[in-house]
A and B are shown apart, each in its own frame.
Chain A
Amino acid sequence: AQKITQTQPGMFVQEKEAVTLDCTYDTSDPSYGLFWYKQPSSGEMIFLIYQGSYDQQNATEGRYSLNFQKARKSANLVISASQLGDSAMYFCAMREGGNNDMRFGAGTRLTVKP
């Protein structure tokens, strides 16, 4: 069974600094995808970044990068140069290759301080 763990219920970061949000996962399927989503207070889930289990390089999307350590089964999200608008809940999620249900972690609430 899939399992996603986000151990940081809340994180604070100073504006313009970088922050790392932790995510570990558990699966026996060699083919899987890892996703990060942002959920502002409005409720909508916003897709940020994707990492495939066979990808050789860490994914990057603008200020977002994914620190993928396959042997440790971790997929941490790094946000560089934090902005006030980055304050939100962040969810790590995983979907196994042949499966269509995405499993989510409990989320991390990030607060960016001015």
Chain B
Amino acid sequence: KAGVTQTPRYLIKTRGQQVTLSCSPISGHRSVSWYQQTPGQGLQFLFEYFSETQRNKGNFPGRFSGRQFSNSRSEMNVSTLELGDSALYLCASSLAGGGSYEQYFGPGTRLTVT
């Protein structure tokens, strides 16, 4: 069974631009979560989608948004990029959300904002 895939793996953008990251979950998984990882803030939860609905959102500004498609693939978008948005963005999928369902992570997209 294929794991979680994320594209692109690396991205360089300039301040003010916008970016879209893509995540394909493990087949059969309906929950997709996004995390931002930085050396200073560690791993922070961005949002979680289940069956095309956002169920939870972390404490991030409205510039961060996402969506999920009917095939469970998910995208996240960051508009008006700032230098502080440079981070590793991780996507994770699970069968369902909550409880004991472990999340399986993709390799991440490393975003550099210059």
Contact = CB atoms under 8 A, between A and B. Distances in A.
B108 A43 contact: yes
A41 to B, nearest CB: 12
B65 to A, nearest CB: 16
B98 A44 contact: no
B98 A43 contact: no
Interface residues of A, number: 26
B104 interface: yes
Interface string A85-107: 00000010001111111111111
B100 A33 contact: yes
Nearest to B43: A104
Main secondary structure on B side of the interface with A: strand
Interface residues of B, number: 26
Nearest to A49: B102
A99 B107 contact: no
Contact of A91 (B33, B43, B110): B43
A52 B100 contact: yes
B61 interface: no
A11 interface: no
A107 B43 CA distance: 9
B67 to A, nearest CB: 16
Interface in B76-114: 88, 90, 92, 97-100, 102-108, 110
B14 interface: no
Interface string A23-51: 00000000101010100001111110010
Contact of B33 (A46, A52, A101): A101
A47 B33 CA distance: 15
Interface in A59-114: 91, 95-107
B63 interface: no
B18 interface: no
A96 B101 CA distance: 11
17 contacts: A37-B105, A43-B107, A44-B106, A44-B107, A44-B108, A45-B92, A47-B102, A47-B103, A47-B104, A50-B100, A91-B43, A96-B98, A98-B98, A100-B48, A100-B97, A100-B98, A104-B42
